[in-house]
Amino acid sequence: MSTVHPGYTLLDGPPAVADYLRLRRETGMSPKTEEQARAGIHGAWAALHVRHDASGETVGMGRVIGDGGWYFHVIDMAVLPEHQGQGLGGAVLDGLLETIRTSAPPGAYVSLIADRPGQALYAGRGFTDPAPRSKGMIMWLDGSRD
C-alpha cells in the first residue's frame, strides 16, 4: 500500500466486484453485469485501486490486460467525479506503467483507448495517437454501441 495524496491509499489488485460496478456506473463508463465483472476483474495482468481513507470507499481504479511478454492494454481507468483533481488517476496510471516497466521484458507495447476526458492524462504520460500508422477499431458482439 502507498499513499497517493493525503487521505487516499493506492492498493494493489482490483476493487471488489460491487465497487468495480459502482465505479463504472458513477463515472459514466458502459455498465457491465455482475457476471462480466466477476469473470473480468481478476483476469488482469495488473490492477490497482484507490481507497478514500476517511470513508473506506473505493474511489478509483485501473487495470492492465496483456500477455506479459510484449503487449499490454490499459483499461478501466476511473475516478469518482467528487475525487477527481487530486492526482488519483495519474497515480493509478503511473503505478500501472511502473509495473510494466519493472516486470515486462524490454520492448513492451502499451496501448489504450482514451475517452475524451482522459486524453490529457494519457498524453501527459507519453501516449500518442498511432494514426496514420495504425487505427483503433472495435466490435461489439451483441450489436450494441455501449
Count how many residues are written for the chain: 146
User: What is the per-residue pLDDT across 9-30, written as a single tens digit (0 to 9) for each?
Assistant: 999 999 999 999 999 999 999 8
For the cut 60, the answer to whether the pLDDT of residue 120 exceeds it is: yes
SS3 content of the chain, % helix, strand, coil (to 5): 30, 25, 40
Instruction: Give the CATH number of domain 2-124.
Output: 3.40.630.30
Which residues pair with residue 49 across a beta bridge? 11, 61
Q: Which residues have CB under 8 Å from 81's CB, separation 6+?
A: 26, 27
User: What is the per-residue pLDDT across 41-92, written as a single tens digit (0 to 9) for each?
Assistant: 989 999 999 999 999 999 999 999 999 999 999 999 999 999 999 999 999 9
What's the distance, CA 16 to chain centroid? 14
Which of the four pLDDT bands, split at 50, 70 and 90, describes residue 146?
low
- Residues 78, 79, 80, 85, Cα dihedral to 10°: -140
In this prediction the pTM is 0.91
